[in-house]
Structure 1
Amino acid sequence: MGPRMAEQVSYDVIIVGGAMMGASVAWFLSSHPGFDGTIAVFERDPGYELCSTTHSNSCMRQQFTTAPNIPVSRFCADYVRNFRDHMGGGEDIPDLHVHPFGYMYLATTEEGAQVLRDAQALQAGLGAQTRLLSREALAEGFPFYRSDDVLLASYGPVDEGYFDGGTMFDTWRRKAKANGVTFLKGEVTAIAREGARITGVTLDDGTRLACGALVNATGPRAAHTAAMAGLDLPVEPRKRYTFVFDSAQSLGQDLPLTVDPSGVHVRTDGAGFMAGCPPRDGDPAVAPDDFTADHGLWEEVVWPALYERIPAFEAIRLRQMWVGHYAYNTLDQNALLGPHPEVPNFLLINGFSGHGLQQSPAMGRGLAEWIVSGRFETLDLSAFAYDRIAKGALIVERAII
């Protein structure tokens, strides 16, 4: 997507942000049988070098602690597994590579164990195939862990692991373009609002465009975008670190994405491994262009935690590391989806707090349905509406990595 002039001065829908969420909305809306309007997608970083999509570890899981997230997870897992069918089955639609190594949550306190019990009961009741493991069962099935301090584990052997989110993203953009969506390089620098309605945008080159609806798909910059419309969003950029490494000693089997109580998580990654963690300074908000790394974090925090949990990681070699951003919803760590109650044609798809890429099929489809019909047609996503904030109906997600 290179520089292009806008093809017209007005669009039915303008999507601000062309990464995973913007591409999802563009594809699902342009392919919705009830929509025949015009769509433009504006992206300030057309190489996607700094966006959360590029920095994502592209994992999916069923192990959430709040009921609205689990049907979303089940749909998205089916969507990924049957991507070609969902996209129409054309010869130009690839299959998505999936590596189902599962997730493993470990609890070393009774409080943590109770969280796992409650969450697994909820997950099982909604059809997810997660299961609890005692310390003995964990040691038998996964002998590479140091498990003497583990009181309980929760394991998801089905529909959890890695998937090729990059190919899904590329395919959505390509097929949306084929449907007539205009993808443009440009940064929205102002949003025109008249009362309870967005009327258009101004770009960084001074171009002014009118619109019927505006979609905020700007990830960690979502609050900045909303502020241009005179609106508040409780979403802020927060750093997350990723480390790719090799181990001199084999584990003999795939390593589930293991969420350790230390705050470090680690999983199989091809022939090696991938670990991640939040910063060690209290997880503050940062500027959206702040990707400065804490270069002591690996040696002083991550490697010791890995070796403590998996003694086979005594001799490991760091190959690569990077810093990405969560679009962190400070209120309940869950998505904000649908119209803003003060300005109904300002549409939100924000605040995913680290699970956006895996939820993008359901959320993009749901927002497209809302734009066409004013309701979520195939999956009830109303729990993610912005008005839950005013109602005090927060859905606090405790399984945030």
Structure 2
Amino acid sequence: MSKVQPLVARDPEVESRESGLTINRAFKVFQSAEGKEVRAINDVSLAIRQGEFFILLGPSGCGKTTLLRSIAGLESLDAGEIYLGDQRIDQLPPYDRPVNTVFQSYALFPHLTVAQNVAFGLEMEKKPKTEIAKTVQEMLDLVHLGEFGGRKPNQLSGGQQQRVALARSLAKRPKVLLLDESLSALDFKLRRQMQVELKRIQRETGITFVFVTHDQEEALSMGDHIAVFSKGRPEQVGTPEEIYNEPANRFVADFIGDINFVDAVKSAEGEITVEGVPFRVKQDISALPIGAEVSAAIRPERITLTAPRETALTGTVETLMFMGADVRCEVRLTDGTTLLVRLSPPYDTAVLHEAATVSVEVEAEHMRVVER
């Protein structure tokens, strides 16, 4: 049998620039400590629409922060172009670019009050004092810190300091706000609260947000579009729903949430076979030859377990855990593959017990074919 080639995501088509942020054929190369060439940004082209919340997602070292720093002007590209609307900005110094950055460390001035921190950039631009005062109050009200202007940063919680950093970056009314792992220092509960706040602020201001994170749940919950990065380039760009439900390849499927991979073979057009059991798929697999060895990627919550049927894929329930909102179990197939299954109530209690033999059911639209 022939082995399928990786189903690589197509490069995104760069839309007309209009007023959005466009990255065109960007490259950035570093030398490693061993003297090897590392392509931190490897032929990246992206089109980010004006006024959207865009996520750069990927593991450490994948190039997402280098790309963000290149947009800010903190790194220079070796090749390629960056446009904001019709204006090319990659050749401009950082202070001339209509972008601002919120860093993970907040970088607040400890000797200045909250209001003075927010006013700092405007004072450097020698704006009128009345305009500065008005803008500072507007920004503090926007981040729900209107009464905290007289406090020092060390008198604030971590979440409040994050909001001050955000207010300071927004005060200059940038066309693009860049956020580099800006919530990673917060505890779990506060991080969730700030995710909601960031979405609210982005909607209210209409400013384009470009947000770097390695947290998949954070990306899915916040982004209008997500670019999943690996080895210096995006593997897939799409909406959260597209990234989660229609991963372009095995890397994206494996990186985003829990997933099962099952060995399969293309047995007919629109059909794959797992352990001799045929499954229809809605995905277009016409480019693959009959007999191609592939993997079926299946989300745990898309699997249904029923009483065993002769013609169905069968397995044995090995572990069972009640999690409150759902039941999670592991099912071992006859070839030794273990499936993680997540079942929401109501479910068949007669089937769900350890050592039970069950049939594994998956609907066509929930089975994604990727490279093995």
Identify whether the pair has TM-score above 0.5, normalized to the shorter chain.
no
Report which structure shows greater RCO (CA 8 Å, sep ≥6).
Answer: 1
TM-score normalised by structure 2 residue count: 0.23
Which of the pair is proportionally richer in helix?
A: 1
- Structure with higher Rg: it is 2
